[in-house]
Amino acid sequence: MNILVVNTAVGPLGSGAGGGVERTLGSLVAGLLERGHGLTVLTATGSRLPPRCEGAALWVEPGTAQPSWQHQPPGSAVQIPADSLLAALWRRALAEQQRFDVLLNLGYDWLPLWLTPVTTTPLAHLVSMGSVSAAMDQLIAQISRSHPRHLAFHTASQAADFDLSAPPVLLGNGFDLDHYTFQPQPLPQLGWAGRIAPEKGLEDAAAAAAVLGLPLVVMGRVEDSAYAERVAASVPAGTLLWKGFLEPEALQQELGRCQVLLNTPKWNEAFGNVVVEALACGVPVASYARGGPGELIQEGRNGALAEPDVVASLVAACQRALAIERQQCRRWAEQHASLAGLATRVEAWLAALMGPAAADPIGSFKRSVRA
């Protein structure tokens, strides 16, 4: 297949602005290239192709980034700024669509979803978040009725947020596990990774680390500096070791040195990339039983689950997670979150859009996780 992948319009690829979507894009493109497909990535000026994606063509467009939906009230209207990057990306995608077999949208945005019935080349969407906007919910429900197979989700918990007409296509996610080194001997410290923004719940992880008397290594881009300052002030000095936004190699090294990763989503996290990235380094995860992480973490096997928003439960989960054999965590990642597994599921999904169903990817990730 000749595939045009259109990145999220919240910022350049490689900047961290796209959060987990950036890693998903890298995995998708690398995995599909390996399976012999032709890939072009359409994204903002200033973008860099991720490792192992050098075989893809990079097309860039200038423009003003989209505001992220998750930081607006749920009833907000759709916004398109002047000199919109989103508009420029989709103008280009429409102009070039006849050169491709399929267009694959990774942005959580109204415009590309609305274009689904309009394009002459099939337009597929990997939805990257749960419900955060009434306008998006409504359009996803409509597309699910008119073009049900054009939508895919990461996990069943995420998909359950939406009013869908058919069982969802679930893709999970995949990671280049060769780039995550198993680390058998951690330091006496806990880890937390993600965009530093209220929906990620860093304050609860900080409180749990303070109770446990262990430092918490914080890895990620500060999206909301007032929020970061409030979290820092909520725990004794020295509890938080701020590392800033780390490139993939540095991130996996830091993750591997942690005894346990704390994952504390305050929203219905669609997948939880950092959960799998920690497991790939051999780090068990103590997570709230919510969203994607609540599906990925299996009590006693690769981590421990806590009652959402209850710090005492998180502390107890962390203590249980400390006892888990690290090799078992790495094995889980190899079985359930490989690059090849993701590429195979995406390929089956896209192939099914182009003719009589070549395969049935529906529910395949959920079945594989529970296996």
20, 122, 284, 303: which one binds ligand UDP (CB under 6 A): 20
CB 219 within 8 A of CB 192: yes
Instruction: Compute the distance between CA of residue 296 and CA of residue 284 in angstroms, rounded to an integer.
Output: 12
Nearer to ligand UDP, 87 or 196 (CB): 196
The reply on whether position 289 binds ligand UDP by CB under 6 A is no
* Shortest reach from residue 277's CB to ligand UDP, in Å: 5
Nearer to ligand UDP, 16 or 300 (CB): 16
103, 164, 208, 219: which one binds ligand UDP (CB under 6 A): 219
3-class secondary structure, 283: coil
The angle, 0 to 180 degrees and rounded to 10, between the axes of the packed helices 311-321 and 202-212 is 60
Instruction: Compute the distance between CA of residue 88 and CA of residue 162 in angstroms, rounded to an integer.
Output: 28
Instruction: Compute the distance between CA of residue 66 and CA of residue 6 in angstroms, rounded to an integer.
Output: 14
3-class secondary structure, 147: coil
8, 23, 164, 313: which one binds ligand UDP (CB under 6 A): 23
Helices (H), 198-237: 202-212, 225-233
The reply on whether position 193 binds ligand UDP by CB under 6 A is yes
The reply on whether position 271 binds ligand UDP by CB under 6 A is yes
* Shortest reach from residue 365's CB to ligand UDP, in Å: 15
The reply on whether position 196 binds ligand UDP by CB under 6 A is no
Instruction: Compute the distance between CA of residue 228 and CA of residue 142 in angstroms, rounded to an integer.
Output: 38
List CB contacts of 135: < 8 A, sequence separation 6 or more. Answer: 76, 77, 78, 110
* Shortest reach from residue 70's CB to ligand UDP, in Å: 8
User: Which positions from 237 to 256 touch ligand UDP by CB under 6 A, shown as an x/- string?
Assistant: --------xx-x--x-----
Residue 138 backbone dihedrals phi, psi, to 5 degrees: -65, -45
* Shortest reach from residue 19's CB to ligand UDP, in Å: 2
The reply on whether position 220 binds ligand UDP by CB under 6 A is yes
Tell me which residues touch ligand UDP (CB under 6 A).
16, 19-20, 23, 193-195, 219-220, 245-246, 248, 251, 271-274, 277
